[in-house]
A and B are shown apart, each in its own frame.
Chain A
């Protein structure tokens, strides 16, 4: 078990460009979450998947954001036409619903800087 991984770790892009991030959860985890963390704040929920189904999206997730988990394993988060306000750390977490614990395991995050 190598934990949750995210790629890339850092991304610098110019305003208006599209970016895509990848998250690989712990292999047996059926739930996958995306959060966004801005400087000096706690992480805020964006969306989550149960297997391949996207079950909830936060109001923070504007139409420029799209997330997928096509085979119920890895997930991608795409931001189209990036804006400076999108600069943040994007965190992925996963968990199994099979046990009694609600613990989510977090990846190292992808830090996005929009110039």
Chain B
């Protein structure tokens, strides 16, 4: 079956620090990969996505590259802000089976001044 493994949090960084949140996956078939973000008290929002190997998804300064050889999709940002404090979820979809999302357990990011 499909599964996603994320690094455990919380991750605490100072503002303007570099961020990496690791994500690896196992999948039956060729997955599409996603990062979702959940701000306090809000629903999940799609942050970025990649649908094939070597694709780079990017949004709001965040980037992630689809690495098929290492089955990874690590999230990075060069300079985090306090407003980036949230929970980040790595997820995947495979074709068929209703295209339901399989999520990792989430990584909480806290950014301090």
Contacts and interface: CB of A to CB of B under 8 A. Distances in A.
Contact of A56 (B43, B49, B100): B100
A115 B105 CA distance: 25
A103 interface: yes
B100 A45 contact: yes
B89 A42 contact: yes
Interface string A77-115: 000000000000001010100000011111111000000
Interface stretch (B14-22, B62-70, B76-84, B91-99): B91-99
Contacts of A104: 46, 101
Nearest to A97: B99
B89 A56 contact: no
Q: Which of B97, B100, B102 has the most CB of A within 10 A?
A: B100
Interface residues of B, number: 24
Contact of B43 (A42, A95, A103, A108): A108
Contacts of B45: 106
Nearest to B89: A42
Interface string B23-51: 00000000010101000001111100101
21 contacts: A31-B99, A33-B100, A33-B101, A41-B106, A42-B106, A43-B89, A43-B101, A43-B103, A45-B102, A48-B98, A55-B98, A56-B98, A93-B101, A102-B49, A102-B51, A102-B99, A103-B46, A103-B49, A106-B43, A108-B43, A109-B43
Interface of B: 4, 32, 34, 36, 42-46, 49, 51, 89, 91, 93, 97-106
Instruction: Enumerate the 4 nearest inter-chain pairs by beta-carbon distance, A residue then B residue, closest first.
Output: A42-B103, A106-B44, A108-B43, A45-B100
